[in-house]
Amino acid sequence: MTGDVMLYVVMLLLPVSALVARRLPIGETIKMALAWLAIFLLLFFVVVAWQEAMGVGAGMRSFLGF
């Protein structure tokens, strides 16, 4: 269990340290992070809608509480 936590910490720390090393302005960094979040959320909802249309989304529907 501890090894898994350390792996996730390293996986989070590496991209964050790369952004810090580039010394980007905080406003630009937040804008970039929000853009990536929007992209991933859009893709998530497209996949969920596709699964619903194909009839395989029952597990996701119960997971999301719909």
- pLDDT tens for residues 10-48? 999 998 888 888 888 889 888 988 999 999 999 999 988
Instruction: Identify the DSSP state of 16.
Output: H
Domain interval for residue 39: 2-64
C-alpha span between 54 and 61 (Å, rounded):
13
What local confidence, expressed as pLDDT, does residue 13 receive?
Answer: 93
What local confidence, expressed as pLDDT, does residue 62 receive?
Answer: 67
Q: How many domains does the chain have?
A: 1
- pLDDT tens for residues 51-64? 888 877 666 666 66
Q: Which segments of 1-66 does DSSP mark as H helices, in order?
A: 2-22, 26-54, 58-64
Q: Rounded to the nearest 10 degrees, how much is the dihedral formed by the CA atoms of 22, 27, 32, 38?
A: 160
